[in-house]
Amino acid sequence: LSVSDFKPEAWTCSANEALKISLVSENAIQFPPVFTYPIYGDAEQIFGYKDLIIHLVFDSVTFKPFVNVKYSDKLRNDAEDVERKLLNFLPSNDVIIKNEAQWVDTFNEEQRSFSLPADRFKVSEYENEGTQFIVYKQSIKEDFTKKLHRRVQIFTLLFIEAASYIDETDDNWEIYWIFNKNTKQCIGFVTTYKYWNYSNAIQFDNSENIKFKAKISQFLIFPPYQHKGHGSLLYNALVDSWHQNDSILEITVEDPNESFDDLRDRNDLERLYKEKFFDLVPKQGEIAEIWIEDERRKRKLEKRQFHRLIEMILLYKDS
């Protein structure tokens, strides 16, 4: 031991640097998390190790998880149990620890019987860069979605600020998934919730006419597939499916971050442009509130979002 070994900083590392996430297909793609505070505490620091690496690895089709913690030295009494802390957020009895050969055998076996949801769950299909992708929607209570969601939900903590796990016993949660049609790899997912929209007692008594607000809660494209247009294509698939659904009155988004706001604005504006809505917007100062409300409802947009869009359209028309 040298003098420097007695300094606490010699045994402290950044949790965001120590945690290495990988998606494995023919090659492994490794990327860092954006947040680790839900797992390793607000300071996002880990104490008690030297050269700590926490591998959190998923097969890119089944998302069967594998965890392997490595370090060159560890303080015997004071080191945090980094593996246990991570396992608390992964599905119990589903994670393979340390034994890589066993993990590979298990996911290969699972892949052999892995099939995508039945066609009745299909929402849409699209082509991107010459490859076909399918969007499915399933309730959280469906076995396929429950199992896959338990494996991938840790990505919400690692990539979305202030995310927390959803209550999988609540049937109002529905998940939209994107899959590569050929490889069956999961590209991303959205957790959505249907809120019952109370308007009046008569409607309430008539259970066939119950209306909802649809909320986008957690929206995530896995890092290797970002910046290829999937986020926009998935957002549009969701919005189209809610537009076609008469029981949905309004589309809302829970705590959008800056990049999601951008994606939403870009796609909402493009939709309104294609509908030739830009031509209908009166001049600044001549817009009646009732007109705004009427147009907003037709498009199932939230008040705040619709006002933002109108402002952007006015700026565009003035420029």
> According to CB under 6 A, which residues from 158 to 187 bind ligand ACO?
159-160
Structure tokens at 9: 């900083």
Shortest reach from residue 222's CB to ligand ACO, in Å: 7
Task: Give burial (CB, 10 Å; 0-12/13-18/19+) of 286.
Answer: exposed
Nearer to ligand ACO, 23 or 281 (CB): 23
Contact string (CB under 6 A) for ligand ACO, positions 209-248, x = contact: -------x-xxxx----xxxxxxx----------------
Backbone angles phi, psi at 110, to 5 degrees: -65, -40
Nearer to ligand ACO, 241 or 267 (CB): 267
Q: How far is CA 29 from CA 45, 57, 225, 233, in A?
A: 24, 10, 11, 23
CA torsion sign, 254 to 259 to 265 to 271?
negative
Shortest reach from residue 241's CB to ligand ACO, in Å: 17
Tell me, yes or no, if 142 is annotated catalytic. Answer: no
Nearer to ligand ACO, 48 or 149 (CB): 149
β-strands 19-24, 53-59 pairing: parallel
- The active-site residue out of 83, 110, 254, 302 is 254
Nearer to ligand ACO, 18 or 187 (CB): 187
> According to CB under 6 A, which residues from 134 to 163 bind ligand ACO?
159-160
Shortest reach from residue 253's CB to ligand ACO, in Å: 5
Q: Which of 5, 127, 170, 262 forms a contact with ligand ACO (CB under 6 A)?
A: 262
> Which helix (H) or strand (E) element contains residue 313?
helix 303-318
Shortest reach from residue 48's CB to ligand ACO, in Å: 30
Neighbouring-strand partners of residue 180: 133
Shortest reach from residue 82's CB to ligand ACO, in Å: 24
Are 32 and 55 contacting, i.e. CB atoms less than 8 angstroms apart? no
One-letter identity of residue 253: V
Are 86 and 67 contacting, i.e. CB atoms less than 8 angstroms apart? yes
Nearer to ligand ACO, 263 or 301 (CB): 263
Contact string (CB under 6 A) for ligand ACO, positions 17-56, x = contact: ----------------------------------------
- N-to-C CA span, the chain: 68
Task: Give burial (CB, 10 Å; 0-12/13-18/19+) of 103.
Answer: buried
Nearer to ligand ACO, 5 or 262 (CB): 262
Q: Which of 23, 154, 263, 310 forms a contact with ligand ACO (CB under 6 A)?
A: 263
DSSP 58-70: EETTT--EEEEEE
Q: What residue has token string 């649809």?
A: 214
Q: What residue has token string 């399918």?
A: 134
Binding range to ligand ACO, per CB under 6 A, among 76-84, 116-124, 255-263, 275-283 = 255-263
Instruction: Give me the residues that bind ligand ACO (CB under 6 A), please.
Output: 159-160, 216, 218-221, 226-232, 253-254, 256-257, 259-260, 262-263
Query: Which residues are tagged catalytic?
Result: 254
